[in-house]
Every structure is written in structure tokens, then in C-alpha cells.
Amino acid sequence: MEQLAPTPALPPEPKLPPARERVGPINERLSPIYPAFDGLTHENTLQLVIATMLSAQCTDARVNTVTPALFARFKTARDFAECDIKELRRLIKPTGFYKSKAKNIRACCAEIVARFNGEVPNTLDELVTLPGIGRKTANVILGHAFDTPGITVDTHVGRLARRLGLTRHRNAVKAELALMEIVPQEEWTNFSHRLILHGRAVCRSRKPRCEKCVLADLCPKLGVKGLAKKRKRKKKKGSPQRTQRARSKTASK
């Protein structure tokens, strides 16, 4: 019996440089695609604070449809602190979770009035003491209102940082500190912004568009293969044949 020749082994994939050496080229490739922060429309620091709080679990585009009327009605921190909570809820309702957001906005502005003379504080330690403001929101405010660089780790930044092999941490604070060690400080704010936009447009959570990604040759795609296997299992589980057999069994009972 004729023996088949063994299938030649595929050459091993080239080993990528360490994260510290790749982060610069990653940022350079994303820079012309996502050049500047233009997400949340605002005219002053207080408006940026409010808009950022509203952007939780909501798109920037939707927030920008709500804030013109909101900022026309309430102009200062005292205005927000003393506003009618029902009116505030009504104005921000399209952004979702409007009851908790309204509560946090009013409480945050009350603290700004009481403790900071109506002015938004400009340090991370002070910002995170305000209701509704965590490290993520604080870094957005510092980076875009006070030109103080900061790494903003939201779900997009965390996901891309892990897929790119820049950090293994799932904890946002640990991921932030890890990225701060390898990203040049002057690029902290811009790098975060670019990862967020790239995560929305290309490196999506369930179906990353690796074939259209400018970072494909710099990315180890950690966890991406697992997503493909999950989709394949899910598709097999819900195949028409299986579904038809399940219906037949149900009908026969």
C-alpha cells in the first residue's frame, strides 16, 4: 500500500518584539487615522465634566444631541447643584441611566461649589473624590481640559491593550499603570483616545476586523482565536438541522 508523504509543517509565526518596542509604531500608525479628540462637544471644563459623565454606556454622538439644550438651561456648577432633579432627568433621559446620572451630576456640582468655589479641580486626587467621577473620567478631564496627560482605561482600551499584548491586566487601574510604563508620557491622552476609536471602528469586542486592521502585523491577537472558536460552536449549536430536530421532538411530546 502506497504511503502518503507527510504534510510539511507550517513555519512558525515570527516572534513579535516586546510591548515596549511595539507601542511606538502602534501609536504612529493610529495617529493619522485618529488625529485629535473631537468626541464630546463642550465649551468649558464644567461642560466637559458633565458630558463625560453622560457618556457612560452611551455614544458621544447621542450625548452631543442632548448637551446643547442642557448647557443652555444650566450654565454654572451652582445651576446644576440647585436644579430641579426632575427637569435634569428629562433633559438627559436619551443618554440612558438618567436617574443615576442626574443624581451624580447634581451631587458632583454641589461638591464643586462647596469645596472648590465653583471651579473644577485640576488634580487626579481631587477629581476622584467627586461623586460620579472615577479615574477614567478624571483622566479624560485632565487630558482634554488641563493638558495633563493621563491613560484612560475604558472597555475599549483594556480590550485592545490585552489583544495587542501591551498588558495582561483586566483590572483597569493595573492596566493603566502598566501602560504608563511603556507609553511616552506626552502621548498618554492621545494614545488612549486612539485605542478607544480604533476599538469602536475596527477591533470590536465580538468580531474584530483583523483583515482591515493597520496593526495586524504588530498584534499577537491574544484571545481573538478563542472568539472565533466560540462563534463556530455557537453557529453549530444553532444550525438549521439541529433546530429542526429540536422542534420535531417538541412537537412529538
DSSP string, 45-94: HHHHHHHHHHTTTS-HHHHHHHHHHHHHH--SHHHHHTS-HHHHHHHHGG
Q: Which of 70, 74, 42, 26 is nearest to 144 (CA)?
A: 42
pLDDT of residue 7: 56
pLDDT of residue 15: 83
pLDDT of residue 166: 96
Q: Which of 28, 33, 22, 25 is nearest to 198 (CA)?
A: 33
Query: Which residue among 38, 75, 93, 136 is the active-site one?
Result: 136
Query: Total structural domains in the chain?
Result: 2
**6 — alpha (psi -120 to 50), left (phi > 0) or beta?**
beta
CA–CA separation, 141 and 153 (whole Å):
13
Could you tell me if 165 and 64 lie in one domain? yes
Could you tell me if 159 and 237 lie in one domain? no
The residue to which cell 451630576 is assigned:
105
Q: Is 117 helix (H, G, I), strand (E, B) or coil?
A: coil
Could you tell me if 146 and 243 lie in one domain? no
* Whether 170 contacts 162, CB under 8 Å: yes
pLDDT of residue 248: 54
* Whether 161 contacts 177, CB under 8 Å: no
Could you tell me if 107 and 183 lie in one domain? yes
pLDDT of residue 216: 94
195 within a domain of the structure (yes/no): yes
Could you tell me if 190 and 231 lie in one domain? no
CA–CA separation, 215 and 180 (whole Å):
20
Could you tell me if 81 and 127 lie in one domain? yes
The burial class, CB within 10 Å (0-12 / 13-18 / 19+), for 45 is middle
Cell output for 119? 471651579
106 within a domain of the structure (yes/no): yes
pLDDT truncated to tens, each residue of the chain (253 aa)?
A: 556 556 555 555 568 899 999 999 999 999 999 987 668 999 999 999 999 999 988 888 999 999 999 999 999 999 999 999 999 999 999 999 999 999 999 999 999 999 999 999 999 999 999 999 999 899 999 999 999 999 999 999 999 999 999 999 999 999 999 999 999 999 999 999 999 999 999 999 999 999 999 999 999 999 887 776 666 666 666 555 555 555 555 555 4
pLDDT of residue 33: 94
Could you tell me if 194 and 238 lie in one domain? no
pLDDT of residue 51: 96
pLDDT of residue 94: 97
38 belongs to the catalytic site: no
Q: Model pTM?
A: 0.76
Spell out the alpha helix ranges (H) of the chain: 19-30, 45-54, 60-73, 77-81, 85-92, 98-116, 124-127, 135-145, 155-163, 172-182, 188-201, 224-237, 240-252
108 within a domain of the structure (yes/no): yes
Query: Which residue among 86, 103, 154, 229 is the active-site one?
Result: 154
As a whole number of Å, the CA-based R_g of the chain is 24
Whole-number Cα distances in Å, 232 to 61, 237, 239: 33, 9, 10
CA–CA separation, 153 and 169 (whole Å):
11
Residue 248 sits in which domain range? 225-253
154 belongs to the catalytic site: yes
Could you tell me if 120 and 238 lie in one domain? no
